[in-house]
């Protein structure tokens, strides 16, 4: 990012849209005193960030399910670790609130 805080505008994104949609969007942007191009950039950044978040959550869920499956295997290290954790919680005075 340049020192003045402005992002470089090196690329152009051209696309076709319905003229009525363009007019309505332009009017809405003007009513909010926002440049239409900046709103589009903001929408694009938001969409990209949401896709990254979705991918992260999907991978976290995949890993969690894989670990849970290994924890159910009596011969796995994960199963042993869960057993040790359960035993520790059973010794703890507030374990009934944590275990369902």
* Start-to-end Cα distance in the chain: 50
User: Regarding predicted confidence, which is higher, 56 or 74?
Assistant: 56
Contact in structure between 70 and 79 (CB atoms under 8 Å)? yes
* 88-98 pLDDT per residue, tens: 877 766 556 66
Give the pTM: 0.63
Q: How far apart are CA 98 and CA 85, in angstroms?
A: 12
**Burial status of residue 39 (CB atoms within 10 A of its CB: 0-12, 13-18, 19 or more):** middle
* 63-88 pLDDT per residue, tens: 999 988 988 889 998 889 888 888 88
- Segment holding 68, helix H or strand E: helix 36-71
């Amino acid at each position: 990012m340049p020192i003045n805080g402005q992002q470089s505008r090196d690329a152009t994104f051209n696309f076709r849209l319905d003229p009525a949609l363009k007019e309505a969007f332009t009017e809405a942007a003007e009513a909010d005193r926002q440049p239409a191009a900046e709103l589009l950039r903001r929408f694009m950044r938001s969409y990209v960030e949401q896709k990254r978040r979705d991918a992260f959550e999907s991978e976290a869920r995949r890993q969690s399910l894989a670990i849970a499956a290994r924890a159910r295997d009596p011969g796995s290290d994960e199963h042993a670790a869960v057993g040790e954790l359960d035993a520790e919680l059973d010794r703890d005075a507030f374990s009934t609130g944590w275990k369902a």
